[in-house]
Amino acid sequence: MRHVLLLQTLLLLFAGAVIIGYLSQRFKAYNYKYLKPILYHLFFYNMLVLLMACSLYFKLNFNEQSFVNTHSGFKLFGYILGYIVLICTAWATCNIYFGFTDKKVPQIFSWTFWIVTTILMILEFIKYKLQLQNQILPWLTFISEWITDNAPIIELIFLGLLYRRARKLSHSKERKMIMAFVLIYLSRFLVLLAVLPLPKILPVLFFAAFLISGSALPLIWFKYYFLPYEQQRQITNEQKPLIEQLVECYGISRREKEILELILRGKTNPEIEEKLFISYHTVKNHVYKIFQKMGVSNRYELMHLASHQDEA
């Protein structure tokens, strides 16, 4: 069983490295504060996978007691590095949240994260020294385990706050993009919870799904939610000078301008009705008046006229 898990972990680690390389190149084209923390989160997540692979390897090749006796310093280093990476993963989630809100991370958050990391390192070093003297203080183990066990809860809190903020946004495309990010990231925890009650053979499959989801989910979000949002935003920005030109040239009213913009974005009459909270009949009347003013009889002719106006 451990051999299968080790092989899975190594393959998924390779996939994670490829995804990190791909996203780091693609993210350079966009100036959003939340993209870099997403990349950091992905990096730290794969660092946890690497530590997991090392742990599985040592369990397969060394006796537990002999390894503790001969490589105790290496084990201490592994524990400390694991704690640091786990805290940094939660720290990256904090930065993602503040990146989406377009704010700087408060100084108190920064200090808290680094103080907690320092405390964990000191506690682990004390435990290491006591173990060499065959002394064990249960409260030290309890404190370090309590801190690390609550690191994922910090992630859940910030994801919950981000979801709450996204629901309040008026821009539907941005709201959909952010909510998709939250729900996709939360699905990792659902996969992990699904593993616990299952028989021993099934967790191997779910373990693989959990590991690969950590690397694959940012890629899925970027490709299917962020890119369409960004493309739509760019199209809207590019259309603004054209729409202003059409308004001035054909005497389009304020309400007709809103409808014209939606028509040029490919929206149908029912979609315009839903977007502007007006009746279907009112939409049809405005569309008819726009067609009359611009001397066209359908949407195709309007698009054709607009494209030639843009070229002019």
Please check whether residues 113 and 172 belong to one and the same domain.
yes
For residue 43, what pLDDT is reported? Answer: 92
pLDDT tens-digit readout, 209-231: 666 667 788 898 998 999 888 87
pLDDT tens-digit readout, 130-150: 665 555 566 666 666 666 667
pLDDT tens-digit readout, 46-67: 888 888 777 777 777 766 555 5
Please check whether residues 52 and 197 belong to one and the same domain.
yes
How far is C-alpha 275 from the chain's CA centre?
Answer: 27
Query: What residue ranges in 148-262 does DSSP mark as E strands?
Result: none
Please check whether residues 226 and 299 belong to one and the same domain.
no
CATH code of the domain containing 270: 1.10.10.10
For residue 71, what pLDDT is reported? Answer: 55
Please check whether residues 88 and 224 belong to one and the same domain.
yes
Q: Residue 268 sits in which domain range?
A: 251-311
**Is the per-residue pLDDT at 263 higher than 60?**
yes
Most confident stretch, 70-74, 170-174, 266-270: 266-270
Lowest-pLDDT range of 1-10, 58-67, 90-99, 202-211: 202-211
Please check whether residues 107 and 255 belong to one and the same domain.
no
Count structural domains, the chain: 2
Please check whether residues 293 and 179 belong to one and the same domain.
no
Tokens of 79: 């524990």
Q: Per the domain annotation, does 274 fall within a domain?
A: yes
Please check whether residues 20 and 125 belong to one and the same domain.
yes
Which residue from 147, 128, 146, 149 is spatially nearest to 137, judged by alpha carbons? 128
For residue 287, what pLDDT is reported? Answer: 94
For residue 197, what pLDDT is reported? Answer: 60
Q: Per the domain annotation, does 30 fall within a domain?
A: yes
CATH code of the domain containing 123: 1.20.1070
